[in-house]
Amino acid sequence: MSRVSASLALAALLLLATPLAVAAADDPALAESSTADAQTAATVVGLSENTSRVLALPDAQRSNFTTPDASVMASLRMDTAAATWTLSRESLAQKLAAAGTQAERQRVLENATENAAAAVDRLLERERAARQAYLDGDSTAERYATTLGELQTRADALLSYIGPRNDPAPNSLLSYADRGSDLRSTLFALQAEVTPLVTDPGASAARAVRGGLGDRLSVLAAPSGFALSTIADGLYQRTVYRTDLLDENGAREVSSSELDSILDALYPWARGGDGFVSSGRYQFGGYAYRARITHLHGTILSYMDASSGQPYHETRETALSVVATDPGWTNASGNYTLAVNRSYPGGPLRVSVTHDGSAVSVPITIDGERVGTTGVEDGVLWTLAPRGEFAVTTTVAGEELRVNATAT
């Protein structure tokens, strides 16, 4: 957001020259309507109208399920990054203490900020390259997820140097930057850029990279970004990063009422409907805004680019014991019923098996892969939904039950 490329500037000029842009400029009501429509289109109904909408990744081209393998080299790079930025904070404090004038102090901070910006660029480029290799078929979902796990830890360490998302850490750049300064604005922009790499699903991948127990991950990739999701201990966690919804042409202040209107359009049930509990916000110096929405089924963190008013990053945590799902597909045989509820690619998929309405505990297979067993008490299995058409099967009383479902 803080560094504008010539190509983006040219694209912006071409966009302003289009009839729609000219019409919108002449008619503020049209501009407001077009923006609202675009914002609404960014999120879609995932499981049901009676739960929160989700940030979509509409042009996903590849998707798989995987658990990253342990990687000694990646672990070493993660440890090196953590040590590097810890030492950098200590070095920054020493250089500032030795600075004899305000001008020297300013140069120290500017040089350190340039180094941090270059580090942010390197991490984002590493993600783009890994994603492109996966899209091109030159890499696997496992390797891409391993990269995301490594980048999670490295980006988190870098954020400790720039300044954490909430309170600036001691000796971080933000702890020294004067309020209202251009330097502080640049640091907020760097925060907003690198934050999409620091997520709970990414942390799960990082644990696996270090040799710990990793959760099964759904990995979706598109030219416009990626989505990573997992289920653990009855909680569904998902992160989405949409690079196409970033407008890097500058910053602007967004009023509380405007931000509320944007959030209401993006998340009508969670914000203004029966599901609303509370909300809060954090400002990245006018470059982006983070809204925290707590609703009856969980929590959403939505990051919006200030100049475009579009959400470019979303993380969510959903309690599967209470979330609403719409009916999808069923098949019955001999008083046994297999039911698969509606979901979206990488979303939580509810599968249930009953006999005359009573729970049945049986193994469940999706497209030939065994994904788990329905519960003894409720006959329900929560798993991750594939992308597109898929077959859910089980065997009861020696007979196969099959449901063909779709997640789009």
| Model pLDDT for residues 376-385, shown as the tens digit of each residue | 999 999 999 9
Beta bridge partners of 226: 221, 241
Pick the CATH number of 329-407 from 1.10.10, 1.10.3470, 2.60.40, 2.40.30: 2.60.40
Angle between helices 72-98 and 141-162 (to 10 degrees): 10
Query: pTM for the whole thing?
Result: 0.87
| Rounded distance between C-alpha atoms, residue 400 and residue 157, angstroms | 50
Strand, coil or helix: 331: strand
Mean pLDDT of 312-340: 97
Q: How far is CA 280 from CA 191, 263, 287, 299, in A?
A: 18, 11, 17, 11
Average pLDDT over residues 166-193: 87
**pLDDT exceeds 80 at position 392:** yes
- What is the overall mean pLDDT for the chain? 88
Average pLDDT over residues 286-300: 94
CA–CA separation, 198 vs 388, rounded Å? 28
Residue pair 362/353 in contact (Cβ under 8 Å)? The answer is: yes
Whether 169 contacts 89, CB under 8 Å: yes
- 348 phi/psi in degrees, rounded to 5: -75, 125
> Do 245 and 308 contact (CB within 8 A), yes or no?
yes
**pLDDT(226) > 90:** yes
Helix H or strand E encompassing 130: helix 102-135
- Indicate the residue type of 295: H
Domain ranges within the chain, ordered by starting residue: 68-212, 329-407
